[in-house]
Chains A and B, each alone.
Chain A
Amino acid sequence: MNGAPPGQSRRGFLSWFLGTSIGAMCASILYPVARYISPPDVPEAQTSRVVAGRAGDLKANEGRIFRFGNQPGLLIRTEDGGYRALSATCTHLNCTVQYRSDLKQIWCACHNGMYDLSGKNVSGPPPRPLEQYTVNVADGDIVVSKA
């Protein structure tokens, strides 16, 4: 292309530059759109249900804290192998409660509040029961949902 006039190569360069930059801009628009449209890791907001664990995680008469949104929940496996799930935020001053396998009740370490397995406040300062959740086991996942 030695004989091509300077205007020609400038024109060619400009067309190339225009095409490439528009292409790049379109790519920078299409990439986010494509990522946006493809389903995220969790398909929907986890406000009403969450997977709290796998079926074999807990032994009988054992409890564990899990995350429900940004609040703690308590998952308990009772002696007969069934599951219970409740809110783990104590109704007294919002400490996180725990399961006491020796007492088979739920205990709040802060001021010695006690709840039974259905969440009812049975002794100590808590004024209200713990909110109960529904537990289902599906495909080996323990799914906790708000009633």
Chain B
Amino acid sequence: MSARRSVVTLFATGILLSMGGLRPAGALLAAEPPRPAQGPRPLETSCVTCHAQLDGELLEPTRHTGDDIHFLKGLSCHDCHGGNPAAGGDGDPTAAHDPAKGWMKPTRAQIPGFCAKCHADAAFMKRFDPRARVDQLSEYRTSVHGKKNAAGDERAAVCVDCHGVHGIRAISDPRSKVYPTNVADTCAHCHADASLMGRYFIPTDQFAEYKRSVHHHALDEEGDTSAPTCNDCHGSHGAVPPGVENVASVCGSCHGREATLFRETEAKKKLDLSACIQCTVCHGNHAVLEPTDAMLGVGPQSTCTGCHSEGEPGYKAAAQMAEDVRRLTGKLAEANGLLDRADRAGVEVNPDRFALQKARDQLVEAKVLAHSFDLERFNVAANEGIASADAGIAAGRRAFAELRYRRFGLSLALVLIAAVIVALAFKVRQIERPAAE
């Protein structure tokens, strides 16, 4: 080849490559996948052309060329399975399924390594997404799934069980099996199946329990994707139940304040609470429900009496806290009731309602401080709240005093009106009496 021809070829290739690069970043939704650096376009490989004419299981992969993220990024069958994408157009698969060109259909044991061929290669993944993580395989190997898979258990979950096989969507796509709102269903596919989990002696009630929880409610009904699902606590690839000593850290990754209080008390009182008390002891692990005031204290639904018995300092502290919360809640309700009634009767109460907000804040603060299990700290908030609520009640009573004052004023007016009526009556009588008087 002459030097000029090489330059032209290089130039042309450069132009073609840069035209590919000019494609807008939202290529996920573009009709056409980017042009591969070499070889036929993803949809024009012999793999797709041939398999599109087959049926059943062999046709299935070609149905996903429009939504699979690999296809959309410009990759095709041979980029994973190997083989020759240019051969086999005549219908004979031997040339296409060429082992010399790396063609393979992985077994379940081989799948993690198969996907990791690209997904653990930082240099390769950077071409498609500079922020892509490449540690999924190493995480997976630490998980129960990964360990069982390495030991040869065909039933343990591998990449394709959660992500899908050929129609793998981006994880930011709400239709993806691993989008936050779908994760629980994906995990439950196996973990809620007693016939599958029986041999491992793993319970299968987690999904049912989770569906009762506030986390599920926030995620499913309010669409709040910051609410946790299975992978937020258990990990995505390194899926393992949090160890007993780690629960507070896991919950604390969102509920930071409670976890901090917990640790502060451990330090202050020189206790090691990790073994005996973690969040799940009082709040549950999967069926985390809305906390109620009855959980605090020594009543029938209390979570404190599970460990603390009567006479212990802990028991007394719990009873005290519950009593204070009950008092503050009651006073808040009373103050609000008074202010509402005064408002409806036409007395100005907005500044008082505003001041009462402080009491409400302190009530929430007190309940949060209950997680410090430290009566002193709790009392600071509780007492401030009670003082604010008392001020609110006083304001309500003042508003009613204003009402009484109005009634007094109007009573005076009534007296005046009565005087006028009496005077008029006498005047009429006077006019109508004979003039001789």
Given that A28-B416, A125-B254 are known contacts, is A93 also in contact with B364, CB under 8 Å in the complex?
yes
Q: A53 near B: Cβ within 8 Å?
A: no
Task: Specify the chain B residue showing the minimal Cβ separation from A68.
Answer: B354
Interface set, chain B 329-387, CB cutoff 8 A to A: 349-351, 353-354, 357-358, 360-361, 364-365, 368
User: Can you list, as one digit per residue, whether each of A101-132 has a CB less than 8 Å from chain B (1) or not (0)?
Assistant: 00000000111100000000000110100000
CB under 8 Å from chain A, chain B span 387-437? 412-413, 416-417, 419-420, 423-424, 426-427, 430, 437
Which residues of chain A are within 8 angstroms of B20 by Cβ–Cβ distance?
Answer: none
A27-63 interface with B by 8 A CB criterion: 28
- Could you tell me which residues of chain B, from 217 to 247, have a CB within 8 Å of some CB in chain A? 218, 222, 224, 226
Residues of A within 8 A of B412 (CB): 28
A21 touches which of B349, B364, B423, B437 (Cβ 8 Å): B423
Check: B283 CB closer than 8 A to any chain A CB: no
What A residues does B437 contact at CB under 8 A? 7
Nearest CB in chain A to that of B429: its residue: A14
User: Please, which residue of chain A has its CB at the minimum distance from the CB of B413?
Assistant: A28
Closest A residue to B417 using CB positions? A25
Asked whether any CB of chain B lies closer than 8 Å to the CB of A78, the reply is no
Q: Complex formed: what's the CA distance from A127 to B424 in Å?
A: 70
Chain A interface residue count: which class?
20 to 34
Number of interface residues of B (CB under 8 A): 33
Any chain B CB within 8 A of the CB of A71? yes
Residue of A with least CB distance to B419: A21
What is the distance, in angstroms, from A31's C-beta to the closest C-beta of chain B? Answer: 10
- Write the chain A residue with the least CB distance to B222: A127
Q: Is A69 an interface residue (CB 8 A)?
A: yes
Number of A-B residue pairs with CB-CB distance less than 8 Å in the complex they form: 76
A127 and chain B: residue at smallest CB distance: B224
Contact A125/B364 with A67-B354, A70-B350 known, Cβ cut-off 8 Å: no
Chain A, Cβ-Cβ closest to B418: A21
Q: Is the CB of A96 within 8 A of B361?
A: yes
- The one of A28, A94, A111 in contact with B368, judged by C-beta atoms closer than 8 angstroms, is A111
Whether B105 sits at the interface, judged by CB under 8 Å, is no
Q: Which residues of chain A are within 8 angstroms of B284 by Cβ–Cβ distance?
A: none
Residues of chain A contacted by B424 (CB below 8 angstroms): 18
Q: Which of A21, A70, A93 contacts B420 (CB 8 A)?
A: A21
Is B36 among interface residues, defined by CB-CB distance under 8 A?
no
Interface check B257, CB cutoff 8 A: yes
A112 touches B256 (CB 8 A): yes
Q: Does chain A have a CB within 8 A of B63? A: no
Smallest CB gap from A97: residue in B:
B361
Do A110 and B365 have beta carbons less than 8 Å apart? yes
Cβ A127 vs Cβ B226 within 8 A: yes
A124 CB contacts on chain B under 8 angstroms: 254, 256
Expressed in whole angstroms, the minimum distance between the Cβ of A43 and any Cβ of chain B is 15
Q: Which residues of B contact A67 (CB under 8 A)?
A: 350-351, 354
Complex CA gap A24/B418 in Å reads: 12
Query: Min CB distance, A32 to chain B, in Å?
Result: 9
Subset of 9 A-B contacts with CB under 8 Å? A18-B424, A28-B412, A28-B416, A70-B354, A72-B354, A94-B360, A96-B357, A110-B368, A127-B226
Interface residues of B (CB under 8 A from A): 218, 222, 224, 226, 254-258, 349-351, 353-354, 357-358, 360-361, 364-365, 368, 412-413, 416-417, 419-420, 423-424, 426-427, 430, 437
20 further interface pairs, Cβ-Cβ under 8 Å (given A21-B419, A70-B350, A110-B365): A14-B426, A14-B430, A18-B424, A21-B416, A22-B423, A24-B416, A67-B351, A67-B354, A70-B349, A71-B354, A72-B354, A95-B361, A96-B358, A110-B361, A111-B256, A111-B368, A112-B257, A127-B218, A127-B222, A127-B224
Enumerate chain A interface residues (CB-CB to B < 8 A). 7, 11, 14-15, 17-18, 21-22, 24-25, 28, 67, 69-72, 93-96, 109-112, 124-125, 127
The 4 A-B pairs at the shortest CB distance, nearest first, are namely A70-B353, A18-B423, A70-B350, A21-B419
